[in-house]
Each structure stands twice: as C-alpha cells, then as structure tokens.
C-alpha cells in the first residue's frame, strides 16, 4: 500500500497537504510518493498555481514521481475544516489524501523544520538580503487581497482597522516591513498611507524590494520578532516556522466571511487573535 495526496492551491496550502501526508505516512509506517507537476489548477480552473519541487520542497526529490499509477485507489477525504484524526483501513488499495488539512495538529513543528531543512534555507535567504539585515527585532506585516476581492462571500477582506489594532499591541519595535503580491500594490499602499499618518514615529518599509521569490519571502517573514499575518496560509506558515524566542504572531479572528465558522484548530494557542 502506498499513500499520496491530491495537491491543491498555493504555497501555504501545499505545505499543509504535503506535511500532513508525510507526517501521517511516517508515523503509520506507510510508503508515500508525490506527483511532481509544474503547475496546479486552482478552484476557479483559470488560475494556475506553481509548485516548489526545486526550492521549498527540494529535499523531497526522492519521493516525487512524474506519473503515478494506482490500479486500486481509495480517496481519504478531509472530514471537516477543524482537525479530525485521519483514519485508514489497511487493505490492497493505495490511498489518496484529499483536502487542505489546515491545522497545526496534523504534524509537528520540529519535524517540519528538519524535513524541509528550514534553518539552512532561512539563513541563505537572510544572506541574500544582505549581511547587515537584522529582522529579529522588527515586525513583518502581510497583506492578502487578490482573488479574495472576487470571493467576498467566502473570505474576509482585511482593512486598515485590523492592522491598526495589531500595531497598537506591539511595543517592542518601531520598524515594520510589509509584504504583499505585486498585483495588490495599490490596495496595500492605500493602507500603508493610513498607517504612516496614524503612527508618525514608526517606519514602514516595503519588504518586496528585496526581490525574493515568494517562498523566500515566506521564510524571511519567519525571521521577524513579530508577525502580523493576513487570513492567508502563506503568512500562516511564516508564523508557524518562526523560531525566535518570545516571538508574537497576530492573526485575524474572522478568517472567513462566515464569522460562525470554527477555525480554532487553525491557530496555535499562543498566537494573538485580533478582531476584524
């Protein structure tokens, strides 16, 4: 019996699915493989999402295959958004995990750091930014708009009020680096202008000017003392991979437009929820 996953979404979602698969497979002593595609199709079937087999996931090269043939297969579908233990029947069928598995409870942090060689990757990113760059006493801010503006019935759109409330709780730095997708530049600059007006003694620096790949930005944000994440699995992983002693992660309580949706298994207990 072999197990794999039906990979979907961007970098953050890919990390959730791949690490859930590997952690589960190794604990259950089941062989696993990963289908190596250059691009993944998104839910709207129009946008293509790139994969990271030669960068973030290069340590998994020996487990990737150009094609996968299962003669007898069984889908193990995610049972709910919150954590549910994955149950498996050991039989002649190969297994395919199907779902996003967006909970820290599906894997272990030290396991992830070691499996993906995060410490060394992160050090290389810092060197790429410049030897005098020190992030461990500063704050990272992440913005996520993009297709959320077309999916307002599903996702919350974070405005300046959320970021203002986060910044008001931070008293150990006045230096803020902000990160975003280039397509969101206009929306982000509007919010940054509001923040600069309100917090005149603080410095807001465009983190995209380091000209990093997106996966490198994810790791760079994990180097900051504080991280204000968006309702995005991309910056969720920046928070999760942070290993700085005493770091603080701020997140929007209402991750989705449906405020009644239970997301309690998504956020680590020590993270700080902010109303939005």
Instruction: Encode pLDDT of 100-109 as tens digits.
Output: 999 999 999 9
Domain regions of the chain by residue span: 2-106, 118-274
pLDDT tier at 220 (50, 70, 90 boundaries)? Answer: very high
Question: Phi-psi category of 146—alpha, beta or left, where left has phi over 0 and alpha has psi -120 to 50?
Answer: left
Mean pLDDT of 41-47: 63
pLDDT tier at 90 (50, 70, 90 boundaries)? Answer: confident
pLDDT tens-digit map of 136-157:
889 999 999 988 988 888 999 9
> What's the pTM value of the predicted model, to 2 decimals?
0.95
- Spell out where 14-121 has E strands: 31-32, 34-35, 39-41, 48-50, 64-65, 73-77, 94-98
Give the residues across from 203 on adjacent strands: 175
Q: Which two tokens stand for residue 87?
A: 């149950």
Least confident window among 130-144, 172-186, 198-212, 233-247: 130-144
Handedness of CA 66, 241, 161, 198 (dihedral sign): negative
Position 232 pLDDT exceeds 90:
yes
Position 45 pLDDT exceeds 70:
no
Q: Which H or E element spans position 11?
A: helix 11-28
Please tell me the predicted confidence (pLDDT) of residue 203. Answer: 96
- β-pairing verdict for 226-228 and 139-142: parallel
Q: Is the separation of the CB atoms in 70 and 97 below 8 Å?
A: no
Q: How far apart are CA 243 and CA 170, in angstroms?
A: 18
Mean pLDDT of 185-214: 97
Q: Is the separation of the CB atoms in 247 and 136 below 8 Å?
A: no
Handedness of CA 181, 182, 186, 192 (dihedral sign): positive
Please tell me the predicted confidence (pLDDT) of residue 131. Answer: 62
Question: Cα dist. 185→42, 147, 210 in Å?
Answer: 22, 14, 15
Query: What does pLDDT average to over the chain?
Result: 94
Percent of the chain with pLDDT over 70: 97
Q: How far apart are CA 57 and CA 106, in angstroms?
A: 18
Q: Which residue has the tokens 């696993």?
A: 32
Please tell me the predicted confidence (pLDDT) of residue 44. Answer: 54
Please tell me the predicted confidence (pLDDT) of residue 43. Answer: 56
Handedness of CA 114, 7, 158, 182 (dihedral sign): positive
Least confident window among 13-22, 67-76, 212-221: 67-76
Least confident window among 1-5, 109-113, 148-152, 269-273: 148-152
pLDDT tier at 46 (50, 70, 90 boundaries)? Answer: low
- Give the DSSP letter string of 49-91: EE--TTTTTGGGGGGEES----SSEEEEE---SS--PPP---S
118-274: CATH architecture: 3-Layer(aba) Sandwich (3.40)
């Amino acid at each position: 019996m072999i197990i794999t996953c039906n990979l979907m979404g961007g970098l953050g979602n890919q990390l959730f699915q791949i690490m859930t698969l590997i952690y589960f497979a190794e604990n259950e002593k089941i062989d696993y493989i990963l289908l190596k595609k250059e691009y993944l199709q998104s839910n709207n079937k129009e946008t293509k999402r790139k994969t990271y087999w030669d960068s973030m996931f290069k340590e998994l090269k020996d487990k990737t295959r150009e094609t996968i043939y299962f003669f007898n297969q069984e889908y193990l579908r995610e049972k709910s958004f919150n954590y549910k233990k994955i149950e498996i029947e050991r039989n002649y069928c190969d297994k395919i995990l199907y779902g996003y598995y967006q909970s820290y409870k599906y894997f272990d942090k030290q396991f992830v750091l070691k499996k993906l060689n995060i410490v060394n990757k992160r050090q290389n990113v810092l060197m790429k930014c410049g030897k005098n760059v020190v992030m461990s006493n500063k704050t990272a801010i992440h913005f996520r708009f993009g297709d959320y503006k077309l999916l307002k019935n599903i996702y919350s759109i974070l405005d300046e009020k959320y970021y203002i409330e986060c910044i008001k709780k931070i008293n150990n730095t006045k230096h803020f680096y902000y990160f975003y997708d280039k397509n969101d530049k206009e929306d982000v600059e509007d919010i940054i202008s509001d923040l600069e007006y309100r917090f005149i003694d603080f410095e807001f620096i465009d983190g995209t000017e380091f000209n990093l790949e997106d996966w490198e930005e994810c790791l760079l944000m994990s180097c900051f003392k504080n991280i204000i994440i968006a309702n995005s699995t991309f910056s969720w992983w920046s928070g999760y991979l942070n290993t700085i002693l005493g770091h603080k992660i701020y997140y929007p309580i209402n991750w989705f437009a449906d405020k009644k949706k239970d997301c309690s298994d998504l956020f680590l207990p020590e993270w700080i929820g902010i109303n939005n």
